[in-house]
């Protein structure tokens, strides 16, 4: 098992880095070159940079992910591609994507897109809260413990 993160806009990277280090689990952060950082990371962390472009990071995550891996992403479309591969896919707000909820999430995203294309307005996501932080930490620890 390894952990793969769609890292461009992930607000929980520090939690993931610390928890995977503590558990001895390999971690891959996938980011576009536009998010390059010279930040020094622990030895168990591999950083993969992809060209900027629509879905380039997503395609690389799909290519890297194998059955049993844990993937962190906020992208419902990416999650829908990873579930059939046998990956555990979790959102940074502390919920797990599943075959039971993915269609609803994709439909909701599609409907919002159609409203915006038609000139309407939709609410954006709520700000990332301390409760989201706690929920993610707890879920992520459970998933790591289950996979080790």
- The mean of the pLDDT values for the chain is 91
- 106 within a domain of the structure (yes/no): no
pLDDT score for 13: 96
Q: What is the CATH number of the domain that holds 140?
A: 3.40.50.1000
- 16 within a domain of the structure (yes/no): yes
Per-residue pLDDT of 95-143, as tens digits, reads: 999 999 998 888 886 686 777 778 887 777 788 999 999 999 999 999 9
- 37 within a domain of the structure (yes/no): yes
pLDDT score for 110: 67
pLDDT score for 148: 62
- 55 within a domain of the structure (yes/no): yes
Q: pTM here? A: 0.88
* Residue 28 contacts residue 3 (beta carbons within 8 Å): yes
- 109 within a domain of the structure (yes/no): no
Q: How many CB atoms lie within 10 A of CB 44?
A: 16
- Give the integer Cα–Cα distance in Å for 29 and 114: 32
Per-residue pLDDT of 22-77, as tens digits, reads: 999 999 999 988 777 778 899 999 999 998 777 899 999 999 999 999 999 999 99
Domains of the chain: total: 1
Write the CA distances from 35 to 5, 31, 110, integer angstroms. 14, 6, 27
Domain of residue 62 covers 2-98+129-147
- 30 within a domain of the structure (yes/no): yes
- 118 within a domain of the structure (yes/no): no
């Amino acid at each position: 098992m390894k952990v793969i993160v769609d890292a461009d806009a992930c607000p929980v990277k520090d939690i993931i880095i610390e928890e995977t280090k503590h558990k001895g689990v390999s971690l891959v952060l996938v980011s576009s070159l536009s998010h390059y950082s010279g930040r020094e990371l622990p030895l168990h962390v591999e950083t993969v940079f992809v060209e900027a472009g629509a879905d380039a990071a997503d395609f690389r995550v799909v290519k890297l992910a194998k059955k049993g891996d844990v993937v962190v992403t906020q992208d419902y479309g990416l999650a829908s591609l990873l579930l059939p591969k046998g990956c555990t896919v979790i959102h940074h707000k502390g919920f797990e994507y599943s075959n039971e909820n993915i269609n609803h999430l994709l439909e909701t995203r599609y409907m919002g897109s159609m409203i915006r294309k038609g000139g309407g307005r939709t609410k954006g996501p709520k700000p990332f809260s301390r409760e989201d932080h706690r929920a993610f930490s707890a879920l992520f620890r459970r998933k790591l413990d289950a996979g080790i």
